Amino acid sequence: MDRSSLTNSILYWSSSLTAEQKMLHYTAAFDPLLSDFYWTHEFRGFVEGLLRGSSNLVFLVGLQGVGKTSSLLAFEGYMMGKASVYSWRWGEDYREDWNQIKDLQFLLIDLPDYAAGSRRAMLRDLDEIGELWYESKTSRRVIVVTVQKELFGGHYLFGKGEVFELRPLTTNELVFFYRKKFRSIYPFSEESLRLVARLSRGVFRRFLRYVKLCVEDMLRRGASGIGVGEVGRVVSPAVVGRDMALELSGFLREYEREQAVAAMTTLLRRGGMNQKELAADLGSTPSSLGRLLQKLELRGYVMRVRGERKEMIVKVVES
């Protein structure tokens, strides 16, 4: 494939940010989705748990964009011809199709991604799902519900079922997937593609969007490749901050979120810095930055390790 055709293929692929968009492009049902799906250890455990049938209520939890909908579709494709499965995008009136779904073995309910101020809407939706589950308790049906990790908790139903969490992909997994998909890392260098993966924090939807932004920028510049500098400029702290706003809002104030994202993007590009250098780079004081880093460390976003000269080095904990 020539460079122009490969570039177009990358743009086409990276423009499909959701599983629903990917399915619109496919004509052969689930086969392309399954070949385009990364079977992580966690997803395999999720499938094995469903097949064991240890619970008739299962929650699949993950960050926005981590692949919850893709996982349901991949499971549905995997089970095709083996069991009766129905995927249901929440919001449709299931009672209209009740006669079709009441005897199914697996009912997959895909809740939407809710905005930060929409917790009440999510809780109302869970109330309805709770009624459906209660009606199904005497049957063999397994109800699977996707829930975004940022809002997980605060409803009685979460204590009634088994929980599987989809972790973000690692940097190595994202780079491996890209290389396998396009049989090269073009138009990136090894270092720049790894930086895109790190900035995405392992969330596949973000990875796709950042790839698209970088390739579009390359075309505008009339360049033939994408280096680390270009990635740092295009995938700016403002871009990363918008994607991380919801997950950070649970424990950081708005002004802290901006500094947290600036600190993490700087560390991801530099590979690690001592606290004094990082504070100077961000225009902050070591003491103020220290309080913020402590919050991020408690949540598993950064870690402090002893450097070669015995000073404490701050690094981002990669997914």
At 159-195, the pLDDT tens digits run: 999 999 999 999 999 999 999 999 999 999 999 999 9
The winner for highest mean pLDDT among 16-25, 82-91, 204-213 is 204-213
The total domain count for the chain is: 1
Residue 79: inside a domain: yes
Residue 261: inside a domain: no
Contact present, 146 and 72 (Cβ < 8 Å): yes
pLDDT in tens, 3-47: 999 999 999 999 976 554 444 444 444 454 556 677 888 888 999
120 vs 191, more confident: 191
Q: Which structure tokens are listed for 131? A: 């009624």
Largest Cα separation within the chain, whole Å, is 70
Residue 139: inside a domain: yes
Residue 143: inside a domain: yes
Count of Cβ atoms closer than 10 Å to residue 164 Cβ: 20
Residue 60: inside a domain: yes
State the burial class of residue 183 (Cβ atoms within 10 Å of its Cβ: 0-12, 13-18, 19+): exposed
- The pairs formed by 6-15 with CB atoms below 8 angstroms and a separation of 24 or more are 6/182, 6/184, 6/186, 7/187, 7/215, 7/219, 9/182, 10/182, 10/187, 10/211, 10/215, 11/212, 11/215, 11/216, 13/181, 13/208, 14/208, 14/209, 14/211, 14/212, 14/215, 15/208, 15/212
Residue 202: inside a domain: no
Contact present, 60 and 23 (Cβ < 8 Å): no
pLDDT in tens, 237-260: 999 999 998 889 888 998 899 999
Residue 152: inside a domain: yes
Residue 100: inside a domain: yes
> Of 76-80, 279-283, 291-295, which gets the smallest average pLDDT?
76-80
Query: pLDDT band for position 77 (50/70/90)?
Result: confident
The confidence score (pLDDT) of residue 162 equals 93
Contact present, 160 and 132 (Cβ < 8 Å): no
Question: Is residue 64 predicted with pLDDT exceeding 80?
Answer: yes
Residue 84 lies in domain: 39-165
Residue 138: give its domain's CATH number: 3.40.50.300
Which pTM value belongs to this model?
0.85
The confidence score (pLDDT) of residue 297 equals 93
